[in-house]
Amino acid sequence: MITSLNRDIMPENWYNVVPDLPEPLAPPRDSKQDISSINLLNKILPKEVLKQEFTFRRYEKIPDEVMEQYEQIGRPTPLIRAKNLEKYLGYRGKIFYKYEGATATGSHKINTAIPQAYYAMKEGVNGVTTETGAGQWGSATALAASLYGLPAQIFMVRISFEQKPLRKTVMNLYNGNVVPSPSTLTEYGRKILKEHPDTPGTLGIGISEAVEYALDHDYRYMVASVMNVSLTHQSVIGQETKKQLEMLGEHADVLIGCVGGGSNFGGFTFPFIPDGDETEIIATTADEVPKFSKGDYKYDLVDSAGVLPQLRMYSLGADFVPPTIYAGGLRYHGASPSLSLLINKGRIKSDEVTESEVKDALRTFANTQGIIAAPESGHAIATAINYVKAHRNESKTIVVNVSGHGMLDLSIFGEKQ
Amino acid sequence: MKNLIPYFTLGYPNNSRLCRFLDILPVEKINYIEFGFPSNDPRYDGPVIRNTHIVGNSNFSDSVYSRYFDYFYRNHIKMYSLSYYSDIKDRFHEFIAYLQKNRFSGIIIPDLIIDYFSEFRRVIEDLNKRGFEYIPFFSPATPDSIIKDVASLTDSWIYYGLQPSTGIEIPYELDYTTERINALLPGREITYGFGIKTDEDIKNLMKNGGSGVAIGTYLVKMIDSGDEKGFVDYINRMRGVLDA
Ligand SMILES: Cc1ncc(COP(=O)(O)O)c(C=O)c1O
């Protein structure tokens, strides 16, 4: 694409939904009585990231250096009308998908990895560290760190590490160092390994290890999701989508996305929140991780060790060990506080889909549109297909966020391929 | 005169030590005072103030402080209670009557609009009827529409917490924060609290139109160490910084 056109579509600011919420967001809460886990964030996150997390600026200017890298990794991403899928479903309305799989690392994760690594680099720290489920976030972290010359230590949930060996190769190619989590690199990891030697691992354990590693090595922790700042950075997705729809003379009636911690979903849908209640917004989770229907809306731990402050969110409990579904990115026990609030108030609806529905949706999407979507994104596609089937006689404009590609997740299709 | 609002949790560290500090407080340098009624769940306070609630809870004795309430009232210092709604909701009218009897001017309820959102309107209107000031408590996380709604129900000053909880030091953008609240509530008295420590912060807040500051965590440290001189000097100095 021509650069000037890119800049027409790309927003100049990130959008933070908090000033536009219908009710106040509950502040984070210390996990322990005698120390402030909120204050500890000063040693865990880059200062600028922390500042953005707590200043709640509605529009946060995207630094030029970040804009440049956004273009380098493939922003703006395409918004494509899924005509083949419409035809296959016999739908009278329109289906569009925003394709975050088109970025260099294959998912939306790079949208927040770049600014976080950039701010860490500016601060002159030793390196960055994080956890990863499916490996998408680890890949984005490794690339972003590498772009800014920082080492990256990545804790990959053990089950994903075993299921997706190629992800490790990708992260290594981007100069990232990857270990299965729980690992022997941290005290917390060693403790879990001793107590549960066969644990498949969880994102909560991975976060705890990465945070401990950051504190011990003067690294900074990269926030994949859940915390508001990651949703703010991801708002490039929704803002681009709005602009692209506007250029096409279209208006979204329905927005659908998948939720792990809420970053791609919040980034995609929140820029539409100030426009009023007309657009229907649906958040899809995995049937096996039913946080919105079976979880409680309460303060809960973000990481299993309780080093980070507690957040008020929908949660299945920080010690919830989800089944080992393929969509590793959706196994997280909670969801971002701002998203949780909007779900609780009924502004955003939720849906759950089963793994077999997801596989069918991924097959249909591959067959019709040619895109092999990530299993996480397959949840959103499944909800969209179900929506169309349930509203056959309507002719709405449905926009789905396809948060990533699934080229490294093909084993989900097993022998039948 | 800008508002200088020292904060004390009643009963901390014990009744006699707190009384001693209230005795030496230079009353001519302050115009408001904030008393924390010990909470069972001070959920939006940082570790220092949290601890004062735990300790205060076991020490607090009504009879010790009524004499001080009278003393501050006679010295024209407006008293405000800091109380969590979770603690007072079951005896709300009784508690407000108690505060009014002791000549308090109003109440700050940090958890009201966060945890009891559906009740805030009723509570504020009730306080208005009783002629008791409700001091809206906002933070950068409070949505714009809520700030406007809540503020429109009262004409009192606003308590604006700059940090997610008391005594926390998270970097924030002071200029942006003050600009935003000023734009939402033009002409309204905004008093800032939470994590305020340096003279520089205070000067900048006042330069940007702030009407005063509340100081809590920083005083606890001096009370803990029994630093009476440091305490008096600090209050005197803050008055100077505020009115500079
Ligand atoms: C492709 C993809 N989509 C979605 C998610 C879920 O995360 P979030 O809810 O933060 O977007 C992940 C997380 O790993 C992912 O890799």
Looking at residue B179, its pLDDT comes to 96
Distance from CA of B77 to the nearest CA of A (A): 31
Q: How many domains does chain B have?
A: 1
Looking at residue A3, its pLDDT comes to 54
Residues of A in contact with B140 (CB under 8 A): 54-56
Looking at residue A1, its pLDDT comes to 46
Residues of chain A whose pLDDT is less than 70? 1-4, 325, 415-417
Mutate to test the interface with A, among B86, B168, B175, B181 (most CBs of A within 10 A): B168
Looking at residue A4, its pLDDT comes to 63
- The amino acid present at B51, given as its one-letter code, is N
pLDDT value at B120 more than 90: yes
**Cβ contact, residue pair B47, A51, below 8 Å:** no
Looking at residue A2, its pLDDT comes to 47
pLDDT per residue as tens digits for the range A170-220:
999 999 999 999 999 999 999 999 999 999 998 889 999 999 999 999 999
Give this prediction's pTM: 0.95
Domain that holds residue B73: 3-243
Residues of B in contact with A38 (CB under 8 A): 46, 164-165, 168, 170
Percent of chain B with pLDDT over 90: 90
Looking at residue B167, its pLDDT comes to 84
pLDDT per residue as tens digits for the range B173-197:
999 999 999 999 999 999 999 878 7
Secondary structure of chain A as H, E, C letters: CCHHHHHHHCCCEEECCHHHCCCCCCCCECCCCCCCHHHHHHHHCCHHHHHHHHHCCCEEECCHHHHHHHHHCCCCCCEEECHHHHHHHCCCCEEEEEEHHHCCCCECCHHHHHHHHHHHHHHCCCEEEEEECCCHHHHHHHHHHHHCCCCEEEEEEHHHHHHCHHHHHHHHHCCEEEEEECCCCCHHHHHHHHHCCCCCCCHHHHHHHHHHHHHHHCEEECCCCCCHHHHHHHHHHHHHHHHHHHHHCCCCCEEEEECCCCHHHHHHHHHHHHHCCCCEEEEEEECCCCHHHHCEEEEECCCCCCCCCEEEEEECCCCCCCCCCCCHHHCCCECCHHHHHHHHCCCCEEEEECHHHHHHHHHHHHHHHCCCECHHHHHHHHHHHHHHHHCCCCCCEEEEEECEECCCCHHHHHHHC
Could you tell me if A216 and A44 are in contact, meaning their C-beta atoms sit under 8 angstroms apart? no
Rounded average pLDDT over B147-161? 97
Residues of B in contact with A21 (CB under 8 A): 143
- The amino acid present at A293, given as its one-letter code, is S
Any idea what the CATH number is for the domain that residue B21 is in?
A: 3.20.20.70
Which residue carries 């990269």 as its tokens? A222
Looking at residue A163, its pLDDT comes to 84
ipTM field: 0.93
* Chain B CB within 8 Å of residue A122 CB: no
Cα of A321 from ligand 1 centre, angstroms: 18
pLDDT per residue as tens digits for the range A255-282:
999 999 999 999 999 999 999 999 999 9
